[in-house]
């Protein structure tokens, strides 16, 4: 297929020129005084940002777990979810563990049942200085308690090195409550159970149980960022997700313009340059208003206060319309007149 003849126009964007709002979200609205006409396709030409983003950010700063409690002599397990919210900022793993411990110690209502003898589960997060894995100690003083990390769309558990089968992933469950897990605990957990690696019995006073993430903690630097736009994409890019009914991996059309990989160390500049452009076809439309969003690697819309400013260049390839000179049009008219008024010659 022959590519049409195009010329390239560029839009340079500096996030410092944005309209300040109370939320200060990384969602830019750009108006072009002169529209870009007959846009054939576009792509991200370049992008620059400092690798100094918060690693605990708005919308990605919660830690949730469930506790299952049975009083002495009781039957069945009561359960309850607990969530703490970590203040946004930049944390080392040690700093994050300390903040989590502080939040847990100051929690109110940290009991599962109405039993007055129940005591809060004593939890403590630490990082091993050799393996960089995060471990959680669990100590219970009354009855029997089990503990299970809970993962919603965005959770700190992943950053702490806990893999998917070490958590109860609510995105892969049809049940709204956790009654089935309490039943499974009562029946006895085996390694054939789906949440065998996610549900742990707490130890006793002075003899805590310990569980750890399978992987080292990797919170110091993000893997990258997504640049998205509804106006500049047309369904040619797909992104995977978990189907809520079948739990199969599905790919659906996405508004992702580009994924910017962070391949430099912390506090260095990230410079993206499109050596192999990721084209988005606009179907020969006129472009006068552009929307651009900056999102985390999990798809969460970022806040400028947490990611800082950035510069980018969008390239637009526009169709070149044929241009005819005055002389060409006059010669074409003369030729047409001559052909229309010249008698046909028939040669026998």
pLDDT tens-digit series, residues 229-260 = 999 998 889 998 888 788 889 999 999 999 99
pLDDT band at residue 171 under the 50/70/90 scheme: confident
The pair of structure tokens assigned to 286 is 């006129």
pTM: 0.85
Region of residue 224 (phi > 0: left; psi between -120 and 50: alpha; otherwise: beta): left
Place of tokens 């046909």: 344
Q: What is the predicted pLDDT for the residue at 198?
A: 95
pLDDT band at residue 173 under the 50/70/90 scheme: confident
Q: What is the predicted pLDDT for the residue at 143?
A: 94
State the greatest distance between any 2 C-alpha atoms of the chain, in Å, as a whole number: 121
pLDDT surpasses 90 at 220? no
Q: What is the predicted pLDDT for the residue at 322?
A: 62
pLDDT surpasses 80 at 136? yes
69 vs 19, which has greater pLDDT? 69
Contacts of 36 (CB under 8 A, 6+ apart): 9, 11, 286, 287, 288, 316, 318
d(CA 116, CA 269): 55
Contacts of 180 (CB under 8 A, 6+ apart): none
Q: What percent of the chain has pLDDT over 90?
A: 73
Q: What is the predicted pLDDT for the residue at 325?
A: 63
pLDDT band at residue 310 under the 50/70/90 scheme: very high
User: Residues 61, 63, 64, CA angle at the centre, nearest 5°?
Assistant: 140
- The arithmetic mean of pLDDT across residues 253-281, rounded, is 93
- The arithmetic mean of pLDDT across residues 302-328, rounded, is 86
pLDDT band at residue 160 under the 50/70/90 scheme: very high
pLDDT surpasses 70 at 151? yes
Place of tokens 């299952």: 68
β 134-140/144-151 pair status? unpaired
pLDDT digits (tens, 9 = 90+) for 14-63: 999 998 787 899 999 999 999 999 999 999 999 999 999 999 999 999 99
d(CA 300, CA 284): 31
Contact 41, 281 (CB under 8 A): yes
Q: Which of 142-146, 209-213, 331-335 has the lowest mean pLDDT?
A: 331-335
Q: What is the predicted pLDDT for the residue at 345?
A: 57
For the chain, helix, strand, coil in percent to 5 are: 15, 40, 45
Whole-number mean pLDDT of the chain? 91
Q: What is the predicted pLDDT for the residue at 344?
A: 63
Helices (H) and strands (E) in the chain, counts: 4, 18
């Amino acid at each position: 297929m022959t590519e049409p003849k195009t010329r390239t126009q560029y839009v340079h964007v500096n996030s410092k020129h944005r309209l300040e709002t109370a939320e200060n979200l990384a969602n830019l609205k750009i108006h072009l005084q002169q529209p870009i006409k007959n846009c054939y396709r576009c792509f991200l030409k370049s992008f620059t940002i400092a690798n100094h983003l918060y690693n605990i950010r708005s919308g990605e700063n919660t830690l949730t777990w469930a506790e299952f409690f049975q009083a002495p002599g009781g039957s069945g397990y009561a359960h309850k979810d607990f969530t703490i919210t970590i203040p946004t900022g930049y944390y080392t793993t040690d700093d994050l563990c300390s903040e989590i411990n502080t939040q847990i110690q100051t929690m109110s209502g940290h009991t599962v049942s109405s039993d007055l003898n129940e005591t809060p589960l004593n939890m403590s997060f630490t990082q091993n200085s050799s393996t960089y894995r995060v471990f959680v100690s669990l100590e219970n003083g009354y009855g029997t308690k089990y503990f299970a990390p809970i993962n919603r769309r965005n959770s700190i558990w992943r950053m702490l090195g806990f893999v998917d089968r070490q958590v109860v992933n609510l995105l892969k469950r049809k049940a709204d409550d956790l009654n089935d897990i309490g039943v499974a605990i009562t029946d006895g957990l085996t390694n054939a159970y789906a949440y065998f690696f996610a549900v742990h019995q707490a130890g006793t006073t002075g003899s805590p149980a310990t569980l750890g993430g399978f992987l080292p903690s990797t919170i110091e630097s993000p893997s990258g960022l997504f640049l998205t736009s509804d106006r500049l994409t047309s369904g040619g890019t797909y992104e995977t997700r978990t189907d809520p009914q079948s739990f199969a991996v599905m790919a659906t059309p996405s508004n992702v313009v580009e994924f910017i990989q962070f391949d430099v160390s912390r506090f260095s500049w990230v410079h993206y340059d499109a050596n192999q452009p990721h084209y988005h076809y606009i179907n020969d439309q006129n472009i006068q208003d552009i929307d651009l969003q900056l999102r985390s690697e999990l798809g969460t819309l970022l806040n400028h206060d947490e990611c800082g400013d950035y510069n980018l260049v969008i390239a637009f390839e526009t169709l070149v319309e044929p241009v005819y000179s005055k002389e060409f049009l006059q010669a074409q008219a003369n030729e047409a007149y001559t052909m229309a008024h010249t008698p046909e010659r028939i040669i026998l």
